[in-house]
Structure 1
Amino acid sequence: MNRTMITATNTMSQIQHKMDIIGHNISNVQTNGFKRKESYFNDLLVQQFETMGRADRENGRLTANGVRQGTGAKISQAKILLTQGSLKTTDRDLDVALKKKDLFFKVLVQGEQEQSVNFTRDGAFYLSPDSQNPNNMMVVTGNGYPVLDEFDDPIVVNGNIKEIAFSENGQLRVTSHDGGAETFNLGIVSVKKPQFLEQIGGNLLGFPANMDELAVAEGNIVTALTGAARGEISLQQRSLEASNVDLSKEMTDLMNMQRHYQFQARSITLADQMQSLVNGIR
């Protein structure tokens, strides 16, 4: 395999990775609160061949001295973009939209081995009967994940519900038919370094499994908004945030990547044809 084939093969694998990211964005264009990913390319190691004996004699030369040959490209970064999605009115009491791009709700997700706290922008909440007390209702997401309060406890309300109201600073107030009322502070965090989070699935974000290797404290990535910090919260009831995916841009990027992939594949074909010609010389 010659140098051209190696360079094209290295690049094709990275282009495929970028197309996978674009496809994931497109598949979630209708997912509430979804945040798109953007990836960037960088050159792999390059090698410089000096072909000019005396560079000082090349005055006026328009091309570079020597030949620089690379080994392909790689994705240097794939980051989550927290740009605000458009808000759509639903007129549903349990629909809530966050109005600042760095805010996320805390939800409890059951993994294969243990439960973990994840983050979402999807404010389409529902009421589900509490397994421990059928007379109570638990506030959950559309996937059934319990919504947490500021102390990371699931929000459980009395089942005799008359009215549900969310304040702009993230407080849930539930009024019952007998005149009683319960209030809960929604668990909301401010994400400061989204590049350290990974997409768990759909519109969920969570800490990566290799947090110890990253040598970054969770508190430096997200900040829980409690006490006086709850003044930074801004939400809107009876509304949902749409995905921040621009379908036209994603389709354009996908077509460009497909053209790049075809170009690299054509390079391999041409290199193979050149080898065939050389090997056929007698």
Structure 2
Amino acid sequence: MYGSVLSSANTMGQLQQKLNGISSNLSNSNTTGYKRSETTFSDMLYQQTNNLQDERNEAGRLTPAGLRTGSGAGVAQTALRMEQGPIENTDRELDFAITEKDQFFQVESMTGGDPETQYTRDGSFYLSENPEEPDGWTLVNNQGDYLLGADGERMDVPAGAGSFTLQEDGTLEAVNQAGEEIEIGEMELARITKPQLLDRVNGNNYALPDLGELGLEEADVLEFIPGAEEAVKQGSLEQSNVDVGQAMTDMMTTQRQYSFNARAISQGDQMMGLINSLRG
């Protein structure tokens, strides 16, 4: 009896983690470049109790001997689903949509105090004052992280420049105050070959763990490709890949499972109460 209560209680705790993931998906259904997470389960440890005393009675038996008591279901994996989200035209010069999955913009985040390269699918960028050149600008995302181009260089922009154009080879150009075309930098994307290693950090950004601890090299995980015309679409943004209808269905199904397990605990408690009253 205690085993059934324990099994249901364990499963409820794991179902709550799935509900948290679904809630995060729903709350970010309108977040640019957001990738939904999906939770899967597996059986937790179980105990086999064999009560067949005479092995001769096993002859012709079709059912398993004894009783197998489980301890509930546990979260096996919370996977990042990288399906392409819909592309929405914005006609804004500094909006860029990545058109292939597993590819990310590289940004330099200063959230932890030290510069750290992070990755994002949110291609909405803005002009911000360049801290190294007060008279100039640099491209940042909506969290203030610096956009990185080829060779990890920031995409710095001279003051007064405008009319940004992404060339076919991935070079971002602008027109300066003198009306001359100037090169801002080369757009470069990072292709993550093992996207399930990514940790969601700092809003809509992702970061890789310490690869050395996993026995991996950077080349095992990262490939750098030009942000050419076929990979990046200017004047557009990739929307979230969350299917709101499916997420609502998953939420109701998970809530029903949670309710069933809560009822099992309640019924187990009632049965233990009946047993105690009979003993009295």
TM-based fold match above 0.5: yes
Match of 1:87 in 2: 87
1:214 CA displacement: 2.5
Match of 2:150 in 1: 150
Match of 1:75 in 2: 75
1:201 CA displacement: 3.7
Q: Call closer, same or farther: CA 1:183–1:128 in 2, change over 3 Å.
A: closer
Q: Call closer, same or farther: CA 1:98–1:21 in 2, change over 3 Å.
A: same
Percent identical across equivalent pairs? Answer: 34
Task: Please state if 1:192 is matched with 2:193.
Answer: yes
SS in 2 for 1:142: coil
Deviates more, 1:230-239 or 1:124-133: 230-239
Deviates more, 1:84-93 or 1:142-151: 142-151
Q: How far apart in 1 are the matches of 2:9 and 2:211?
A: 32
Deviates more, 1:160-169 or 1:249-258: 160-169
Q: Answer yes or no: is the 8 Å Cα contact 1:103–1:233 preserved in 2.
A: no
- Following superposition of structure 1 onto structure 2, how do residues 248-259 of structure 1 map, counting pairs within 5 Å? 248-259=245-256
1:202 CA displacement: 3.2
Instruction: Letter of the 2:240 partner, please give it.
Output: S
What residue ranges of structure 2 are gaps of 5+ in the alignment?
Answer: none
Q: How far apart in 2 are the matches of 1:82 and 1:205?
A: 13
1:224 CA displacement: 2.2
Q: How far apart in 2 are the matches of 1:242 and 1:77?
A: 25
Task: Please state if 1:245 is matched with 2:246.
Answer: no
TM-score if structure 2 supplies the norm length?
0.91
Match of 2:43 in 1: 43
Q: How far apart in 1 are the matches of 2:219 and 2:43?
A: 34
TM-score if structure 1 supplies the norm length?
0.90
Match of 1:262 in 2: 259
How big is each residue's C-alpha offset from its partner over 1:155-186, in whole Å with a ceiling of 9 and x where there is no partner?
11111214201134432112213114124112
Q: Answer yes or no: is the 8 Å Cα contact 1:191–1:221 preserved in 2.
A: yes
What residue ranges of structure 1 are gaps of 5+ in the alignment?
Answer: none
Match of 1:224 in 2: 224
1:225 CA displacement: 2.4
Match of 1:275 in 2: 272
CA RMSD of aligned residues (A): 2.0
Q: How far apart in 2 are the matches of 1:145 and 1:233?
A: 25
Q: Call closer, same or farther: CA 1:169–1:193 in 2, change over 3 Å.
A: farther
Instruction: Letter of the 1:274 partner, please give it.
Output: M
- Following superposition of structure 1 onto structure 2, how do residues 93-132 of structure 1 map, counting pairs within 5 Å? 93-132=93-132
